[in-house]
Amino acid sequence: MAREVVTTCTRDCPNTCGLIAQVDQGQVVLLGGNPRHPLSRGVACHKAKEFVRRAYSSERILTPLRHNRKTGVWQRITWDSALNEIAGRMNEVKDQYGAEAILYYRGFAQRTALRLLNERFFNLLGGVTGTYGTLCGGTGQASQNLDFGCRISHDPLDYEHSNSLVLWGRNPVATNPYLLPVIARIRRQGGSVILIDPVASESKRICDVHIQPAPGKDAFLAMAAAKQILALGREDREFIESHSQGFCHFQRILDSFTLQELAQACDVPVQQIELLADVLLEQKPTGILLGWGLHRWEYAHHMIRSIDALGALAGLIGVKGGGVSQGFEEYAPYDLDWVGDSLHPNRRKLLMPLIGEEILKAQAPPIQMIFVTAGNPLCMAPNSGKVAAAFAQVPFVVVAGHFLDDTAEQADIFLPSTTFLEEQDIVASYGHNYVGPVNQAIPPQGESWSDFELFQNLAAYFPFGPDFKRSIEEWLTLLAAPLLRQGVTLEELWAGPVRLPEAPMVPYSDRKFATPSGRFQFMTEFNRPSCLEGKESYPYQLMSVSSYEWLCSEMTPADQDELTVIRIHPKEAAKLNLADGETVRVISNVGATKARLKLDSEQRQDTIIFPRGRWLKSGSSANLLTRDIVSKVGNGASYYETKVRIEPI
Ligand SMILES: Nc1nc2c(c(=O)[nH]1)N[C@H]1C(S)=C(S)[C@@H](COP(=O)(O)OP(=O)(O)OC[C@H]3O[C@@H](n4cnc5c(=O)[nH]c(N)nc54)[C@H](O)[C@@H]3O)O[C@H]1N2
Ligand SMILES: Nc1nc2c(c(=O)[nH]1)N[C@H]1C(S)=C(S)[C@@H](COP(=O)(O)OP(=O)(O)OC[C@H]3O[C@@H](n4cnc5c(=O)[nH]c(N)nc54)[C@H](O)[C@@H]3O)O[C@H]1N2
Ligand code: SF4
Ligand SMILES: [Mo]
């Protein structure tokens, strides 16, 4: 008889599904959805099944390893000798260069409560160098903070009140399945679901209309729809006059363009702009959902702020079933004092989107040691070539993970990590308002340790060891204290998903905004970004989007034998004399890589769609091409500001 363990998917995914692991004779035989989770409602995605395969993969590394980076020889070692060597090197580096010569790089792969203690370890060790900025969602948050004071998204359960939906740069079929029943319900009831995406993504087939703007030009599209609403005299005057600030400046920006000019700038027919405005006006309330694709532009804030402004004009702010929503703060429920950042308020931080460059140029002290958990920056940070060069020059690298991926291959010491199936913890979400239990379904595989166990045991080598030595239950009681104060118990948290008691269903329904004026803030400035690269040599915008099949770079070494399948419009392929299935070289001003071509007449002619995540060692990796530049607002990685050309091999 299989045993059922209630748990939660902790992977880097906004869905954070409630899961049930069926365990038979100590093995997970099925990982399915928990019917008691109000959003995932018993459904888990195809990647959950894949995750079980990953957890049991014969290629997963289950013992600590030492690596001779010169000869390439890997050697199995004990945890004792691994920790001894790491602690010794930490002390040496600290004594010789100071703690800032150690860089702690925390990736995004797991965002559970106990992961906060990883940071605590490094704060107790001394003010090591950390990171700031993000490869993921910070740009959107920072941009929306400018308009709303504090970004708060509608509870996804609130979309039950929406009569229409706009998916603006979001691909729920691949990345966010809890939206699928919402979309189906709206359409069943005759409402429209509009996809706005330069890429014809997997979500196109579940939407009524696909608006396919030129990449990175959504600000013009949002402004065009706003202009149309104003031309019809249908803007929400009451909201504008009583609850907003800066509207006249925004209107001045709109006045500097004609509707035709805006339509041309985003390359969307006027008729589709009229349709968008019509849906916002006639199918109220419309939920506007921003995805993460929008963040990866240098001027992403223009796009996001224009969309916020459009939502405000259309009367969607603070309204049931409406709103302009994006993400949630997955660490909001916890007491962040335990991270210990205040111990070293002035410690050095490197800008994550420029991590290669930042490591290379770090001086006084130069980086002597890097410790990576839950990340694969060599593959996933922009400009992989530079990141690899930076790691190569650092004398001592420790990587904790599951497989020998690109980053692990640069390690001197590799530490085997558990998967969430092997851990006890809790996890909040960046895609909704539920905290879920992570209950241990199976014992740690091989000699793998959770990050918690790793840092607790490593702490024992230092004077602050006793501080760390508390049980999981004790730590969670401390970390989740704000939740417990709101009446939630740890027992409840471990039994199933718990909604954050204070999270609003409909933010800003009281029309209060944490902006300096207390009002919604319209965008008041718009400087048109110029195109940085020559059109002729690199004619295609590289859209290095999420893959439907896999999550970030979480694949196995065996998956690296194939080339990434990239999509291009057949007319462009014909111009270049390239055939479907052909192997090509993709070249940017940063680097080059190989890929397999697939012709797709639904794509724009000025884009190449290149799913991110395949490793460098496959010779077919998106970030060998991406430029390392940082967004103007929010310190985000502007991956999509990359142009490429392709050639036959
Ligand atoms: N299957 C799968 N699921 C995943 C992931 C994965 O790798 N694979 N990754 C996870 C992670 S880390 C995250 S952050 C989320 C991301 O979740 P999503 O935001 O849904 O996914 P993305 O692929 O990042 O971007 C969504 C869409 O934005 C579009 N886009 C890009 N630029 C523009 C633009 O200028 N304008 C408009 N309108 N659209 C644009 C892209 O073409 C893409 O189709 O998904 C998570 N879930
Ligand atoms: N070109 C391009 N690149 C992108 C993006 C893009 O749109 N285009 N999007 C970006 C986005 S949204 C994101 S979030 C980042 C993700 O970037 P990263 O977080 O760097 O990449 P992942 O692939 O999630 O890293 C997974 C690694 O974490 C390890 N791991 C998993 N769980 C654990 C654990 O519990 N403990 C430890 N120690 N290790 C663990 C896995 O074994 C694996 O090595 O990539 C970004 N990269
Ligand atoms: S949708 Fe996301 S959270 Fe849900 S099972 Fe799949 S990967 Fe995990
Ligand atoms: Mo992400």
Identify the CATH number of the domain in which residue 577 sits: 2.40.40.20
Which pLDDT score, from 0 to 100, does residue 258 have? 97
Ligand 3 contacts (CB < 6 A) are 9, 11, 13, 15-17, 44-45, 47-48, 177, 551
Q: Is the pLDDT score of 474 beyond 60?
A: yes
How far does residue 198's CA lie from ligand 1's centre (Å)? Answer: 12
pLDDT-wise least confident of 163-172, 307-316, 530-539? 530-539
pLDDT level of residue 642 (50, 70, 90 thresholds)? very high
Closest ligand 3 atom to residue 44 Cα is 5
- Residue 444 domain flag: yes
Which pLDDT score, from 0 to 100, does residue 528 have? 67
pLDDT in tens, 595-616: 999 999 999 999 999 999 999 9
Please tell me the distance from the alpha carbon of residue 614 to that of residue 620, in angstroms, as a whole number.
Answer: 7
Task: Name the residue with the closest Cα to ligand 3, atom 4.
Answer: 17
pLDDT in tens, 393-416: 999 999 999 999 999 999 999 999
How far does residue 379's CA lie from ligand 2's centre (Å)? Answer: 8
Which pLDDT score, from 0 to 100, does residue 536 have? 75
CB 552 less than 6 A from any atom of ligand 1: yes
Please tell me the distance from the alpha carbon of residue 80 to that of residue 86, in angstroms, as a whole number.
Answer: 10
Q: Output the six-digit token pair for 526.
A: 């718009």
The residue range of the domain holding 546 is: 540-648
Q: Is the pLDDT score of 527 beyond 90?
A: no
Query: 169 and 193 share a domain?
Result: yes
Task: Name the residue with the closest Cα to ligand 3, atom 8.
Answer: 9
Ligand with the closest atom to the CA of 410: 2
- Residue 600 domain flag: yes
Task: Name the residue with the closest Cα to ligand 2, atom 14.
Answer: 136
How far does residue 554's CA lie from ligand 2's centre (Å)? Answer: 7
Query: 583 and 636 share a domain?
Result: yes
Which pLDDT score, from 0 to 100, does residue 615 have? 98
Query: 102 and 232 share a domain?
Result: no
For residue 637, give the 3-state DSSP assignment.
Answer: strand
Please, what's the largest Cα pairwise distance for the chain?
73
Q: Output the six-digit token pair for 123.
A: 């704060």
pLDDT level of residue 161 (50, 70, 90 thresholds)? very high
| Amino acid identity at 510 | D
Which pLDDT score, from 0 to 100, does residue 283 have? 98
Task: Give, in order, the Cα–Cα distances in Å from 230 to each of 87, 251, 255, 259, 314.
Answer: 64, 9, 11, 11, 9
Query: 168 and 308 share a domain?
Result: yes
Which pLDDT score, from 0 to 100, does residue 363 have? 96
The radius of gyration of the chain from alpha carbons, rounded to an integer in Å, stands at 25
- Residue 339 domain flag: no
Closest ligand 1 atom to residue 292 Cα is 19
Task: Give, in order, the Cα–Cα distances in Å from 369 to each of 362, 454, 567.
Answer: 12, 17, 39
How far does residue 471's CA lie from ligand 4's centre (Å)? Answer: 30
How far does residue 511's CA lie from ligand 3's centre (Å)? Answer: 34
Q: Output the six-digit token pair for 85.
A: 């060597």
How far does residue 620's CA lie from ligand 1's centre (Å)? Answer: 19
Ligand with the closest atom to the CA of 554: 2
**Angle of CA points 48, 555, 82, to nearest 5°:** 105
Closest ligand 1 atom to residue 216 Cα is 35
- Residue 177 domain flag: yes
From 108, 199, 427, mutation site for ligand 2 pocket: most ligand atoms within 8 A of C-beta: 108
CB 288 less than 6 A from any atom of ligand 1: no
pLDDT level of residue 538 (50, 70, 90 thresholds)? very high
From 552, 628, 635, mutation site for ligand 2 pocket: most ligand atoms within 8 A of C-beta: 552
Which pLDDT score, from 0 to 100, does residue 531 have? 52
How far does residue 178's CA lie from ligand 3's centre (Å)? Answer: 9
Q: What is the mean pLDDT of residues 510-529?
A: 93
Please, are residues 160 and 137 in contact by the beta-carbon 8 Å criterion?
Answer: no
CATH number for 291: 3.40.228.10
Q: Output the six-digit token pair for 177.
A: 């399945």
Task: Name the residue with the closest Cα to ligand 1, atom 24.
Answer: 293
How many domains would you assign to the chain? 4
Of the chain, the end-to-end C-alpha distance in Å amounts to 55
Q: Is the pLDDT score of 56 beyond 60?
A: yes
Q: What is the mean pLDDT of residues 318-322?
A: 98
| Amino acid identity at 280 | L
From 8, 9, 438, mutation site for ligand 3 pocket: most ligand atoms within 8 A of C-beta: 9
Query: 273 and 149 share a domain?
Result: yes
Please, are residues 411 and 399 in contact by the beta-carbon 8 Å criterion?
Answer: yes
pLDDT level of residue 54 (50, 70, 90 thresholds)? very high
When the pLDDT of each residue in the chain is averaged and rounded to a whole number, the result is 97
How far does residue 43's CA lie from ligand 3's centre (Å)? Answer: 9
Which pLDDT score, from 0 to 100, does residue 534 have? 52
Domain end, chosen from 493, 521, 549, is at: 521
Token look-up 């869905």 returns 15
Q: Is the pLDDT score of 245 beyond 70?
A: yes
CB 114 less than 6 A from any atom of ligand 1: no
Query: 309 and 402 share a domain?
Result: no
Token look-up 């709303």 returns 148
Ligand with the closest atom to the CA of 12: 1
Query: 450 and 412 share a domain?
Result: yes
How far does residue 328's CA lie from ligand 1's centre (Å)? Answer: 16
pTM beyond 0.85, yes or no = yes
Q: Is the pLDDT score of 529 beyond 80?
A: no
| Amino acid identity at 633 | V
pLDDT level of residue 1 (50, 70, 90 thresholds)? confident
Query: 315 and 455 share a domain?
Result: no
From 211, 268, 272, 292, mutation site for ligand 1 pocket: most ligand atoms within 8 A of C-beta: 292
CATH number for 75: 3.40.50.740
Ligand with the closest atom to the CA of 551: 1
Q: What is the mean pLDDT of residues 379-384?
A: 98
Query: 384 and 306 share a domain?
Result: no
- Residue 163 domain flag: yes
Spatial neighbors of 489 by CB under 8 A, at least 6 apart, are: none
Query: 274 and 156 share a domain?
Result: yes
Task: Give, in order, the Cα–Cα distances in Å from 326 to each of 141, 333, 489, 558.
Answer: 8, 18, 29, 35
Q: From 366, 387, 364, select the one nearest 377 (Cα to Cα).
A: 387
- Residue 189 domain flag: yes
Query: 546 and 644 share a domain?
Result: yes
CB 136 less than 6 A from any atom of ligand 1: yes
Query: 144 and 131 share a domain?
Result: no
Which pLDDT score, from 0 to 100, does residue 530 have? 57
- Residue 533 domain flag: no
pLDDT level of residue 385 (50, 70, 90 thresholds)? very high
Q: What is the mean pLDDT of residues 299-325?
A: 98
| Strands (E) located in 471-552 | 498-499, 520-521, 540-543
- Residue 428 domain flag: no
